Amino acid sequence: MKKLTVMLLVAASAICAQAGSAPEQWNVAARKAFAAERFGIFLHWGLYSNYAQGEWYLQTHKLDEDAYARMMYGFCPSKFDAREWVRVFKKAGAKYVTITARHHEGFSLWPTKVDDGYNIANTPFKRDILGELAIACKEARLQLNFYYSLLDWHRKDYPAGFVTQNVKVRDRKPDYASYKRFMMGQITELIDRYHPGYIWFDGEWDHHFRDDKGELGRTLDWELDDIFDLIHGKHVLVANNSHQASRPKEDIQAFERDLPGENSAGYSESITVMKDRPLEQCDVLQNGIWGYRIGESSFRTPEDVVAMVVRAASKNANLLMNIGPDGSGQLPEQAVAVMDKVGDWFARNGASVYGTSAGGVADGKDVVSTRKGKTLYLHFLNPEKKSITFKPQGKVTSVRNLATGKPVAFEVAADGALTVTVERAAGDGFDAVVEVK
Ligand code: FHN
């Protein structure tokens, strides 16, 4: 009898544990809403933007941290206009914006009360950048989110990991309990003041290493569950760019520069794509760099960005495309020009991306597909590719070019296979989206 009671108790606690880890209703709804957005703008902005050499300048140039931090007294982005930024993002077709509230350099873009003063309040600019952006985003109905660095190149209490140990921080006094208190204080402020949709973590990998057998080891227990619980308690989602398998409490699976499942840039080796979470691929607009780099004039084209958005959507993922504003507070001219054209494309073809899921047909390379309900969208990405054959799910009644509304030629074979053939003239590659109903 005693044995049976113990067995029942064990079974009951297993069920409770399962129930406890099931996402709550708000969370399910928030994940779904996030996945439907499909296109967001990432912003890397901080003191590094004034140095104009990318966001890793302090680390890569082995600078003295105290000397670097003096830039706080010269940070005065007088051209910053949150409404103008938001106008560009909205026009681009983006549904959300994710900004580096605090990147690895440790400088905070809002007047935080819980740090040692390394924040916007102590610059000559003084204005609350996140606050202004939050207002502008709210007016335009764009969701604002925050990137938050777990590692820190400024604070003395952060226990430096493999990357951070090379930064010249004087008089380090590693104390994770103190550093975690600081992070939780900042995250509480960020959520209570600015109401983000998610907090996007980065830097856990500072404490990752591979042993002789290639097994992953960790030199710090970040106690991330406590931080994630704090965030979930405020009904905000969590993403973590750990470059490792997602933890159960992470709501969004993050892929840096990799198409989910393809490890295209090599950051997500052997990571299984989660079926029960929204996915997000982040990537760069300015060649190979996140923070603004002067002299780097190579940007992705509008066609590149559109192809990336639809490829991501065809894999059930959002695309978070990065722009690095400069130290004056302006978005690079090239970025604005590219985004303007991307927005024109979205105005004509947005239905094939927003609120869609993977289409599940086509080869996934020259032609990719997305789906909404019974409608299928075929994106002809390779101008050389003019036709495609596949088995549709139901009876096909209409096939047309989504942007122009013009009918597109199709044939249904005796075995039910559908062949769709597009007419493509030079230069019209941008609008080769076919709607199949
Ligand atoms: O080190 C960062 C880098 O600066 C940038 O923020 C990207 C964005 O995904 N993440 C890190 C590298 O994994």
Q: What is the pLDDT of residues 227-278, one digit of tens each?
A: 999 999 999 999 999 999 999 999 999 999 999 988 988 888 878 999 999 9
Residue 243 alpha carbon, nearest atom of ligand 1: 13
Tell me: pLDDT of 120 over 80. Answer: yes
Phi and psi torsions of 84, nearest 5° = -70, -40
Asked if 150 and 102 touch (Cβ cutoff 8 Å), the reply is no
Among 48, 55, 201, 202, name the best residue to mutate to test ligand 1's pocket (greatest count of ligand atoms within 8 A of Cβ).
Answer: 202
Q: Compute the average pLDDT of residues 121-145.
A: 98
Higher pLDDT, 426 or 97: 97
Distance, CA of 21 to CA of 43 (rounded, Å)? 32
User: How large is the average pLDDT for residues 356-379?
Assistant: 94
Is residue 150 pLDDT above 90, yes or no?
A: yes
pLDDT confidence of 430, banded at 50, 70, 90?
confident
Between CA 92 and CA 106 the distance in angstroms is: 30
The angle at the Cα of 237, spanning 31 to 128, to the nearest 5 degrees, equals 130
| Model pLDDT, residue 432 | 87
pLDDT band at 202 (very low <50, low <70, confident <90, very high): very high
Q: Is 202 in the pocket of ligand 1 (CB under 6 A)?
A: yes
Tokens of 427: 């230069």
Place of tokens 């051209």: 79
Alpha carbon distances (Å) from 245 to 186, 194, 201, 216, 264: 26, 29, 14, 11, 17
User: pLDDT grade, residue 26 (50/70/90)?
Assistant: very high
Does pLDDT of 429 surpass 70?
no
Give the pLDDT of residue 17: 36
**Per-residue b/e over 228-256, b at no fewer than 16 CB within 10 Å?**
bebbbeeebbbbbbbbbebeebbbbbbbb
Amino acid code (one letter) for 195: H
- Name, in order, each residue with C-beta under 8 angstroms of 240's C-beta and a sequence gap of 6 or more: 200, 201, 202, 204, 224, 246, 247, 250, 254
d(CA 339, CA 334): 9
Confidence at 431, pLDDT banded by 50, 70, 90: confident
pLDDT digits (tens, 9 = 90+) for 305-342: 999 999 999 999 999 999 999 999 999 999 999 999 99
Confirm or reject: Cβ of 241 under 6 Å from ligand 1.
Answer: yes
- pLDDT band of 428, cuts 50, 70, 90: low
pLDDT at 367 over 80: yes
Report the nearest atom of ligand 1 relative to the CA of 267: 13
The arithmetic mean of pLDDT across residues 30-50, rounded, is 98
Q: Is the CB of 290 under 6 A from ligand 1?
A: yes
- Helix axis angle, 333-349 to 82-92, nearest 10°: 40
User: Would the pLDDT of 16 be above 50?
Assistant: no
13-22, 196-205, 227-236: which range is least confident on average? 13-22
For the ranges 114-118, 231-235, 381-385, which has the lowest average pLDDT?
Answer: 381-385
Cα–Cα distance measured from residue 136 to residue 128, given in angstroms and rounded to the nearest whole number = 12
Binding site membership of 280 for ligand 1 (Cβ less than 6 Å): no
Q: What is the pLDDT of residue 296?
A: 87
Within 10 angstroms of residue 182's Cβ, the number of other Cβ atoms is: 19
On the question of pLDDT at 69 being above 70, the answer is yes
Given pLDDT bands bounded at 50, 70 and 90, which one contains residue 214?
confident
Mean pLDDT across 100-124: 97
Task: Tell me how crowded residue 223 is: count the other CB atoms within 10 A of its CB.
Answer: 12
SS3 content of the chain, % helix, strand, coil (to 5): 35, 20, 45
The pLDDT of residue 21: 63
Please count the other Cβ atoms lying within 10 Å of the Cβ belonging to residue 152.
Answer: 25
Of the candidates 165, 148, 147, the residue with the CA atom closest to the CA atom of residue 220? 165
Residue 227, exposed/middle/buried by CB under 10 A (0-12, 13-18, 19+)?
Answer: buried
Q: Angle at Cα 334 formed by Cα 264 and Cα 80, nearest 5°? A: 110
CA of 338 to the centre of ligand 1 (A): 22
For residue 423, name the pLDDT band (cuts at 50, 70, 90): confident
Residue nearest to atom 3 of ligand 1 (CA): 290
| Residue identifier of the C-alpha nearest atom 6 of ligand 1 | 290
pLDDT in the model for residue 426: 57
The per-residue pLDDT of the chain, averaged, comes to 93
Expressed in angstroms and rounded, the spacing between residue 243 Cα and the centre of ligand 1 is: 10
For the Cβ of 204 lying below 6 angstroms from any atom of ligand 1, the answer is no
d(CA 14, CA 21): 11
Provide the CA 396 distance to its chain's centre, in angstroms.
36
Contact (Cβ atoms closer than 8 angstroms) between residue 147 and residue 136: no
Between CA 97 and CA 88 the distance in angstroms is 11
Q: Is 282 in the pocket of ligand 1 (CB under 6 A)?
A: yes
Question: Which pLDDT does position 13 carry in this prediction?
Answer: 38
Average confidence (pLDDT) over 215-234: 96
- Whether pTM > 0.85 for this model: the answer is yes
Contact indicator for 144, 96 with CB cutoff of 8 Å? yes
Q: What is the mean pLDDT of residues 289-301?
A: 95
